[in-house]
């Protein structure tokens, strides 16, 4: 191969041994560009190569050519932004889960691709690759919930790229062959089990251990009664404040507590009632 360097190393002119034509190449916007001059004469090939280079620079400066952004660079920018903006809102384990999915699965498959190359088709190919990887490692394909977590992280990365104008639109992330499962209902206490639980916590209040203050035993009993009758998750109950509770006394015989609950699915309003007969919340 014969080659020449032009414009202080910004442009390279070369000719392969198998072709009589000169070709030129340059690096611009983290991407390597190359084109053939279709010329055999070296002087004419140099003029064509320089004209092509300056035209390419003008298009790049005018924004007509987008710089190359690989998926791994976009994923790194997403994680840095996400970890900063969610401080105090998401647990460190949840944020670290995104980093692990990027490092273990998304970057090995999408990492070298330009961000524009992540399409609906490549996402379907990722689902196949992910299941084959789990099958080879664990003897069974990846669980639907595991794939869902991977796709959620991928969607967040591409959503950030769309917001910054790096891609024009989001691809389709839907499962091509969804599995419809019978809805599973959460377990609940039977009246006998609930009475047994309340009696146990109340006995704990009456006879607290020597090293445990009595007021902590009382708070445990109140917490069990409150959470069991409102249906709040532990994290929702922990975030509840006095300002989130309002007593609706329109029904004088059964006043209603209106709870402004901030949970993982948004804001909800459970309506537990207090019966004056002394049976407690229900």
DSSP element (H, E) containing 82: helix 71-85
Tokens at 230, concatenated: 């409102």
| Bridge partner list, 3 | 14
pLDDT at 233: 80
pLDDT at 111: 93
Spatial separation of the C-alpha atoms in residues 9 and 92, rounded to whole Å: 47
- Each residue's pLDDT tens digit, 211-258: 899 999 999 998 988 888 777 888 888 888 888 887 776 655 666 777
Spatial separation of the C-alpha atoms in residues 238 and 227, rounded to whole Å: 10
> What residue spans define the domains of the chain?
2-61, 71-163, 189-229, 231-282
Domain 71-163, CATH:
1.10.150
pLDDT tier for residue 97 given thresholds of 50, 70 and 90: very high
- pTM greater than the 0.85 cutoff: no
Spatial separation of the C-alpha atoms in residues 102 and 72, rounded to whole Å: 8
Looking up tokens 């007021």, which residue turns up?
215
**Spacing of C-alpha 105 from chain mean position:** 13
pLDDT at 157: 97
Could you write out the DSSP letters of every residue in 18-67?
A: T-SS-EEEEE-SSSEEEEE---SSHHHHHHHHHHHHHHHHHHHHTTSSPP
pLDDT at 261: 75
- Each residue's pLDDT tens digit, 110-130: 999 999 999 999 999 999 999
CA angle 12, 17, 18 (to 5 degrees): 115
Average pLDDT over residues 67-82: 92
pLDDT at 184: 72
Question: What is the SS3 assignment for 176?
Answer: coil
Question: What is the SS3 assignment for 281?
Answer: strand
């Amino acid at each position: 191969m014969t080659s020449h360097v032009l414009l202080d190393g910004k442009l390279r002119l070369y000719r392969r041994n198998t072709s009589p034509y000169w070709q030129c190449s340059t690096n611009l916007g983290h991407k390597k560009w190359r084109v053939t001059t279709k010329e055999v004469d070296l002087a004419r090939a140099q003029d064509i190569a320089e004209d092509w280079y300056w035209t390419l620079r003008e298009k790049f400066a005018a924004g007509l050519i987008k710089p190359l952004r690989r998926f791994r660079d976009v994923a790194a920018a997403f994680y840095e932004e996400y970890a900063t903006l969610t401080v105090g809102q998401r647990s460190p384990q949840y944020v670290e889960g995104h980093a692990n999915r990027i490092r273990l699965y998304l970057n090995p498959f999408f990492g070298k691709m330009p961000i524009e190359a992540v399409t609906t088709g490549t996402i379907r190919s990722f689902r196949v690759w992910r299941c084959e990887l789990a099958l080879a490692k664990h003897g069974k394909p990846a669980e639907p919930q595991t794939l869902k977590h991977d796709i959620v992280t991928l969607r967040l990365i591409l959503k950030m790229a769309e917001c910054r104008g790096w891609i024009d639109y989001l691809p389709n992330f839907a499962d091509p062959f969804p599995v419809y499962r019978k809805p599973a209902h959460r377990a609940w206490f039977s009246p006998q089990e609930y009475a047994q639980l309340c009696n146990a916590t109340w006995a704990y209040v009456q006879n607290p251990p020597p090293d445990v203050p009595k007021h902590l035993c009382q708070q445990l009993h109140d917490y069990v009664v409150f959470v069991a009758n409102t249906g709040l998750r532990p994290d929702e109950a922990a975030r509840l404040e006095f300002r989130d509770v309002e007593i609706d006394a329109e029904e004088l015989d059964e006043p209603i507590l209106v709870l402004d609950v901030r949970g993982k699915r948004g804001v909800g309003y459970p309506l537990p009632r207090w019966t004056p007969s002394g049976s407690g919340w229900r």
